């Protein structure tokens, strides 16, 4: 029996789908990282009960922080992107959090930069508030140790291909750290949207829809670039097709990052048909994407079969899907830093 709802949400379900492809399905993935991070900060005296925790969010991080703050006796304020829908705003309200939603932006960089700029302004006005720095503090890795150990227990081995969004690095990056520490032969395939500054795709135009939570318009300091063996860049159409195919063939109803993960997992299985288990991450269910991804009045036709273009130079990044062997190399996005990012360092 779980003692709290947050404790339940922090633990995902591992489901075998097809041909040794598994989905690690979360209801609200960020609860896993936030729950452990906040408890760690409290235990170390970095924050105290009753204090206000603040951060920016495109959706599930804000919900997770509000839920954990309510449980652990803290206050919460969120600067929300336009992707935060009525369902999440309602939960923020009833969980006792306050929030501000920033205006819509076609630029991933401007959207995230505006939200973080609002955080700095808030901290200047409320010096006792604590910025959780989900984009920068690797305290958000801590919660995934338990998930990695559970995965090893269920699969019987730490040898796995792990597929999922890069985001801040606090899911795929963290999981790879703990799986490899257990002696696993771990291959990590990270997913990025076009326009993301991480891994060098900021000059490639967005395709009109930000895949929330897996890319960065600003520098993220808690990405371990050396954790990744492969990087895949996918556009909205490829990810959405993956969502529909995942639902129609397995029954799993999940968000855009999971649709992208399903596409990448099936690709890796196709090029390594006799390989070991492949696990992709589903960070949230598909409810917030229904209108754009699962239109009820849309034609019930087979989704097109996509294959990535394999590239060896970042200058060749192009849609709708491309991939490169990243080979666990380092990467820097520190050139020409705006003042905002110097503040975050």
Q: What is the mean pLDDT of residues 209-217?
A: 72
Pairing of strands 98-101, 75-80: parallel
For 73, phi and psi rounded to 5 degrees?
A: 80, 35
Give the C-alpha separation, 26 to 45, whole Å.
29
Statement: residue 36 has pLDDT above 60: yes
For 138, phi and psi rounded to 5 degrees?
A: -80, 10
Comparing C-alpha atoms, which of 238, 277, 278 is closest to residue 259?
Answer: 238
- Burial of 128-156, coded b for 16+ CB within 10 Å and e otherwise, reads ebbbbbbbbbbbbbbbbbebbeebbeebe
Q: What is the mean pLDDT of residues 313-317?
A: 95
Average pLDDT over the chain, rounded to an integer: 89
Comparing C-alpha atoms, which of 287, 223, 232 is closest to residue 256?
Answer: 287
- Name all domains of the chain by residue range, CATH numbers in brackets: 5-29+141-325 (3.40.50.1100), 31-138 (3.40.50.1100)
Helix (H, G, I), strand (E, B) or coil at 296: coil
Q: What is the pLDDT of residue 206?
A: 65
The percent of residues above 70 in pLDDT, for the chain, comes to 91
E-strand stretches of the chain = 13-18, 21-25, 52-57, 75-80, 98-101, 130-131, 160-165, 186-193, 230-234, 278-282, 309-310, 321-325
Q: How many Å is the Cα radius of gyration of the chain?
A: 19
Q: What is the pLDDT of residue 344?
A: 44
Q: How many CA atoms lie within 13 A of 273 on its CB side?
A: 1
Give the C-alpha separation, 212 to 91, whole Å.
18
Statement: residue 345 has pLDDT above 50: no
Angle, nearest 10°, between helix axes 236-250 and 256-271? 80
Cis peptide bond N-terminal to 320, omega within 30 = yes
Torsion of CA 265, 269, 275, 281, to 10 degrees: 10
Q: What is the mean pLDDT of residues 92-110?
A: 78
pLDDT bucket at 208, cuts 50 / 70 / 90 = low
Statement: residue 336 has pLDDT above 80: no
Comparing C-alpha atoms, which of 290, 294, 230, 285 is closest to residue 258?
Answer: 285
């Amino acid at each position: 029996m779980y003692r709290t709802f947050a404790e339940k949400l922090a633990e995902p379900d591992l489901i075998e789908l097809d041909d040794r492809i598994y989905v690690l399905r979360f209801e609200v993935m960020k609860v896993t990282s936030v729950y452990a991070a906040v408890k760690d900060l409290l235990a170390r005296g970095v924050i105290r009960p009753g204090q206000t925790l603040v951060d920016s969010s495109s959706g599930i991080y804000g919900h997770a922080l509000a839920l954990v703050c309510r449980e652990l006796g803290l206050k919460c304020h969120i600067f929300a992107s336009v992707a935060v829908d009525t369902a999440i705003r309602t939960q923020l309200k009833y969980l006792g959090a306050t929030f501000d939603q920033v205006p819509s932006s076609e630029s991933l960089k401007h959207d995230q930069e505006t939200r973080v700029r609002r955080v700095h302004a808030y901290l200047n006005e409320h010096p006792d508030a604590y910025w959780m720095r989900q984009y920068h503090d690797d305290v958000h890795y801590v919660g995934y140790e338990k998930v990695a150990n559970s995965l090893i227990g269920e699969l019987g081995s730490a040898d796995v291909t792990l597929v999922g969004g890069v985001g801040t690095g606090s899911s795929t990056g963290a999981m790879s750290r703990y799986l490899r520490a257990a002696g696993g032969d771990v291959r990590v395939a990270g997913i990025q949207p076009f326009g993301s500054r991480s891994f060098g795709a900021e000059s490639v135009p967005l395709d009109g829809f930000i895949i929330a939570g897996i890319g960065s318009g600003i520098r993220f300091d808690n990405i371990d670039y050396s954790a990744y063996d492969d990087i895949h860049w996918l556009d909205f159409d490829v990810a959405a097709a993956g969502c529909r195919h995942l639902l129609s063939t397995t029954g799993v109803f999940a968000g855009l990052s999971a649709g992208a993960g399903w596409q990448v997992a099936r690709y890796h299985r196709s090029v390594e048909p006799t390989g070991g288990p492949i696990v992709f991450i589903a960070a949230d269910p598909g409810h917030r994407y229904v209108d754009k991804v699962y239109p009820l009045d849309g034609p019930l036709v087979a989704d097109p079969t996509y294959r990535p273009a394999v590239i060896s130079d970042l200058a060749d990044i192009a849609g709708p899907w491309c991939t490169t062997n990243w080979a666990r190399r380092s990467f820097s996005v520190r050139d020409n830093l705006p003042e905002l990012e110097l503040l975050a360092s």
